[in-house]
Amino acid sequence: MAGELHQHSILRAGNMKMVQERERVIAGILRDREMTDLSGLRVFEPGCSTGYNLRMFVQWGARPENMTGMDIDPAATSYIRERAPGMCAHTGSAEDVPEADGTFDMSIAFTLFSSLPNEGVASAIAAELMRVTRPGGLVLVYDMRRDSPRNRSVHAIRREDIRRWFTHCRVRTRHLTLVPPLARRVPALYSVLAAIPPLRTHSLHIIDWAGAK
């Protein structure tokens, strides 16, 4: 049945542009590290929702059985088990990840830290990401760089937060993602407008274990 697309639907052109931009940046990071064969790549994502990001890596050549997600919402992990049965999906808080030390080559956290209630939870989850990611691996944190005037339940994540939680690591930060309402309104101008620094609303923090001291 025809109807108006949901605001956050991937089928909306603006939303697709935002996702594609982020994926191009991540693909570039993998190329820079000469990670061109992803068949052995092991990835963990807390706050994975329905597993979209993990399935992205599978599309790029990773094996489903090497993808592990975790979400506090049992409906989300049930969705993954039903739609992507090869993946592992844990239900619970990422303050306590049921995986061994150094299990993963990469951990990703997309718009997770901005929704956490306090510093204690954030630092505990960051510590778990460092624990389950092997030395020499990567942690990618993509999140809001400014507070949202429309949603007071989320908050900005700044570079100093990342450096405080992920100590003794090399951190590089890239700003991306056009202001979402603007992206949805004029998707044809996405590339032009996203090139203007003040209009970028999110940051991708590249936390490099190879640079750990």
What pLDDT does 213 receive? 46
* Residue 82 burial (C-beta neighbours within 10 Å; 0-12, 13-18, 19+): exposed
Structural domain includes residue 7: no
Tell me the pairing of strands 170-178 and 200-208.
antiparallel
Structural domain includes residue 179: yes
Structural domain includes residue 2: no
Domain of residue 206, CATH code: 3.40.50.150
Express each pLDDT in 50-62 by its tens digit: 999 999 999 999 9
Banded model confidence at residue 5, pLDDT cuts 50, 70, 90: low
Q: What percent of the chain is predicted at pLDDT more than 70?
A: 96
Express each pLDDT in 135-170 by its tens digit: 999 999 999 999 887 788 899 999 999 999 999 899
Rounded Cα distance, 195 and 56, in Å: 25
Rounded Cα distance, 140 and 208, in Å: 9
Rounded Cα distance, 114 and 72, in Å: 15
Structural domain includes residue 162: yes
Cβ pair 173, 203 in contact under 8 A: yes
Express each pLDDT in 13-49 by its tens digit: 999 999 999 999 999 999 999 998 999 999 999 999 9
Banded model confidence at residue 7, pLDDT cuts 50, 70, 90: confident
40: Cβ contacts below 8 Å, ≥ 6 apart: 63, 66, 105
Residue-number span of the structural domain to which 71 is assigned: 13-33+41-211
What pLDDT does 149 receive? 79
Q: Is the pLDDT of residue 212 over 50?
A: no
Q: Which of 78, 85, 26 is nearest to 50 (CA)?
A: 78
Distances (CA, A) of 125 to 41, 48, 99: 22, 13, 13
Express each pLDDT in 71-126 by its tens digit: 999 999 999 999 998 999 999 999 999 999 999 999 999 999 999 989 999 999 99
Rounded Cα distance, 167 and 24, in Å: 27
- Backbone dihedral region of 34: left (phi > 0), alpha (psi from -120 to 50 degrees) or beta? left
Banded model confidence at residue 211, pLDDT cuts 50, 70, 90: very low
Structural domain includes residue 173: yes
Domain count within the chain: 1
What pLDDT does 39 receive? 96
First CA to last CA distance, the chain: 57
Rounded Cα distance, 153 and 23, in Å: 26
Express each pLDDT in 87-102 by its tens digit: 999 999 999 999 999 9
Structural domain includes residue 8: no
